[in-house]
């Protein structure tokens, strides 16, 4: 997933009303859009280095978007709109070993009356649903965690995946760690114990759990390597 333009660096000042952040760039305060509805636990520290993008769309109220925050000298991608783009690129280029045999990729596929999964992937004889979760939290050195707040939506997706599994679909959940400083992943049981319990039960019902981190460059963000999982 490539950035449309070169990012602009600045310093984080504050976040407010969930979708707004103030960033200091060249001694000026810029208000940018925050494309992440989560808590971004541990990232919103005053004077943390950040990268923002600028849009030329004249219809946008906010020209700038927060893309990356630096945490302990490591880059963290916070734009959740990029998550599926990164995974889609990885699927197309066979970068996820466990899913490399699937030939057809259908993003944003409806299942049932009220659910959309991020991807339906199809092999000659197998159909599988893939749900993707963006991970930014790290409280211990080299350990990434999810979620960073209670996630009723995430819990719903686990239950719907299990339901799809009972109807002969293969089911996968992929935790995409948009950080470059971790080598293992775990569920934050203390933050959302119900999610942790549901995920462990889902694994017993044939849910396949994958986790990959990301590689950052001046051009963009790409899926990098598989991570160790501790559920």
Instruction: Judge whether 50 lies within some domain.
Output: yes
- What are residue 55's phi and psi, to 5 degrees? -100, 145
Cα–Cα distances in angstroms (integers) from residue 103 to residues 92, 99, 112, 123, 231, in the given order: 9, 9, 23, 5, 29
Cβ-based neighbours of 196, under 8 Å, separated by 6 or more: 187, 188, 189, 231
Q: Do 220 and 170 belong together in one domain? A: yes
- In the chain, the number of structural domains is 2
Q: How many CB atoms lie within 10 A of CB 136?
A: 26
C-alpha pair distances (Å), 72 with each of 42, 181, 201, 217? 10, 9, 34, 17
Are 22 and 132 part of one and the same domain? no
pLDDT mean across residues, the chain: 96
Would you say 44 and 76 are in contact if contact means Cβ atoms under 8 Å apart? no
Are both 70 and 101 inside the same structural domain?
Answer: no
Q: Are residues 111 and 178 in the same domain?
A: yes
If asked whether residues 144 and 213 sit together in one domain, one would say yes
198 located within any domain = yes
State whether 209 and 121 are in the same domain. Answer: yes
CATH number (domain holding residue 181) = 3.40.1350.60
113-147 residue pLDDT tens: 789 999 999 998 899 999 999 999 999 999 999 99
Is 160 within a domain?
yes
Is residue 168 classed as helix, strand or coil in its secondary structure? coil
Q: Would you say 155 and 198 are in contact if contact means Cβ atoms under 8 Å apart?
A: yes
Same-domain check for residues 212 and 98: yes
Cβ-contact 23, 52 below 8 angstroms: yes
Instruction: Give the residue from 77, 97, 130 where a domain finishes.
Output: 77
Q: Provide the pLDDT confidence category of residue 10 given band limits of 50, 70 and 90.
A: very high
Co-location of 68 and 181 in the same domain: no
Tokens describing residue 51: 């990268």
Residue 169: DSSP 8-state:
-
Residue 37, in any domain of the structure = yes
Structural domain includes residue 3: no
Instruction: Give the residue numbers spanning the domain of 64.
Output: 8-77
Q: Decide if pLDDT at 50 tops 90.
A: yes
Question: Which of the listed residues 54, 77, 100 is the one where a domain comes to its end?
Answer: 77
What does the pLDDT read at residue 1? 86
pLDDT at 157 over 90: yes
Domain boundary pick from 49, 77, 105: 77
β-strand pairing of 8-16 with 49-54: antiparallel
Predicted confidence (pLDDT) at residue 72 exceeds the cutoff of 90: no
């Amino acid at each position: 997933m490539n950035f449309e333009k070169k990012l602009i660096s600045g310093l984080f000042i504050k976040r407010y009303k969930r979708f707004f952040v103030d960033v200091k760039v060249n001694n000026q305060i810029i208000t940018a859009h925050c494309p992440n509805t989560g808590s971004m636990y541990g990232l919103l520290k005053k004077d943390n280095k950040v990268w923002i993008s600028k849009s030329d769309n004249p219809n946008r109220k906010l020209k700038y978007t927060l893309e990356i925050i630096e945490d302990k000298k490591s880059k963290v991608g916070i734009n959740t709109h990029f998550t599926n783009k990164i995974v889609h690129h990885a699927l197309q280029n066979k970068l996820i070993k466990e899913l490399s045999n699937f030939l057809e990729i259908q993003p944003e596929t409806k299942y049932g009356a009220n659910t959309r999964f991020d991807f339906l992937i199809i092999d000659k004889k197998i159909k599988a649903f893939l749900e993707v979760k963006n991970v930014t939290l790290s409280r211990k050195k080299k350990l990434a965690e999810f979620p960073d707040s209670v996630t009723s939506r995430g819990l719903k997706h686990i239950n719907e995946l299990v339901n799809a599994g009972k109807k002969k679909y293969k089911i996968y959940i992929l935790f995409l760690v948009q950080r470059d400083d971790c080598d293992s992943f775990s569920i934050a049981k203390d933050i959302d114990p119900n999610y942790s319990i549901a995920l462990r039960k889902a694994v017993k019902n044939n849910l396949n759990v994958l986790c990959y981190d990301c590689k950052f460059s001046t051009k963009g963000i790409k899926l990098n390597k598989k991570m160790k999982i501790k559920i």
